[in-house]
Amino acid sequence: MNPHKLPSIGYDVIFDDTLTELHRFIQQHTYSKILILTDRNACIHCLPVLQEAMPWFDGYDVIEVDPGEENKNIDFCVGIWKMMLDFGADRQSLLINLGGGVITDMGGFTASTFKRGIDFVQVPTTLLSQVDASVGGKTGVDMDHVKNIIGTFAQPKAVFIASTFLRTLDQRQLVSGFAEIIKHGLIADRSFYEAIKGLDATAISLEHIRHSVAIKNNVVTQDPLEKGLRKILNFGHTIGHALEGHSLASDRNPLLHGEAIAAGMICEAYLAHRLNGLSEDALNDIIQTFRRHFPDYSYDREIYEALLVLMKNDKKNAGHRIGFSLLSTIGQCDIDVFVEEDVIVESLDFYRNLIGSGR
């Protein structure tokens, strides 16, 4: 496959299954030290893929962390910074973030703050990180189960996307990433949404990934610091992040990000119908799409207070108002729609009644 480059803000998003462009990037620079940040799963399944693609590549050090969103916190960052010091990293070093969204988020954050910033590149290995977390220059870690509340805007030197890594994923991880692909169609490209909504996650092609990334990249290049348009990417995330945070704290088998955002998008589609002109037909279509691909998430009304606390701490809020990005129709999204708590509760009840746990 010939490499395909998508220019972004100060860097390229490069689609290259051979990883030739990563090889070229490293050869073109004279870094004093190269470090690879990865987690235990990616170290087993993905690092060998990189090593096989670039057999000449040696002289690097590996920093391995435990996998999972529950480990994306400042304590793990301290451990990464200490390993950087132990390996002798300086300001001329490069950090390669090899893994899913946790690694690209946390790796970008640690690189952007170590010695006031060192170069980093993203090599996302999950569908979710390829279409979402690795692109856009946001870095971050969680605190008190509030998603990405500590972070920076820091652009990587490049993003290298290889569909080869997707072969290492199980079905649940693939489906989780599909949520963000569907979201990109819902907020900005109706024809893309119509084309993908009936596909199985295993049928997602590199062209679908490229198109999804291009939608996000187009938004990010217009609004890199999330002052306006970029907020449309948060559709489903105000409620979805709260569900994800609560699940991480409470469930034995916590929701994956895409699973939480799928439930969040159903709730927020209800809000869009209730408050922002989304038609009933569109609402029902969105519900059918997400319930076709994602498992229902059952919760009790007793958690509503905790969910609202998490929503109130969301970084998109203004003052004490809880902010949403809501569809007006499929393919168009409005930002800064502030919703009262009683209406948010309605949306949570709507989802519970929909899946049959609200009786």
Angle at 237 between CA 222 and CA 67, to 5 degrees: 100
Nearby residues of 183 by Cβ (< 8 Å), 6 or more positions away:
233, 235, 236, 261, 265
Instruction: Look up 340 and say whether it is catalytic.
Output: no
Instruction: Look up 246 and say whether it is catalytic.
Output: no
How would you label 184-208 residue by residue, b for 16+ Cβ within 10 Å and e otherwise? bbbbbbeebbeebbeeebeebebeb
3-class DSSP state for residue 126? coil
Nearest to 68 by CA among 173, 162, 161: 173
Whole-angstrom Cα distance, residue 272 to residue 141? 29
Instruction: Look up 216 and say whether it is catalytic.
Output: yes
Instruction: Look up 29 and say whether it is catalytic.
Output: no
Instruction: Look up 230 and say whether it is catalytic.
Output: yes
Catalytic one among 72, 197, 230, 316? 230
Instruction: Look up 116 and say whether it is catalytic.
Output: yes
The amino acid occupying position 40 is R
Catalytic one among 184, 197, 257, 293? 257
Instruction: Look up 226 and say whether it is catalytic.
Output: yes
Catalytic one among 69, 226, 244, 268? 226
Catalytic one among 21, 145, 148, 180? 180
Other C-beta atoms closer than 10 Å to the C-beta of 74 total 14
Catalytic one among 145, 197, 208, 237? 237
Instruction: Look up 312 and say whether it is catalytic.
Output: no
Residue with tokens 């000449």: 56
Catalytic one among 41, 72, 138, 246? 138
Which residues belong to the active site?
A: 116, 138, 180, 216, 226, 230, 234, 237, 241, 257
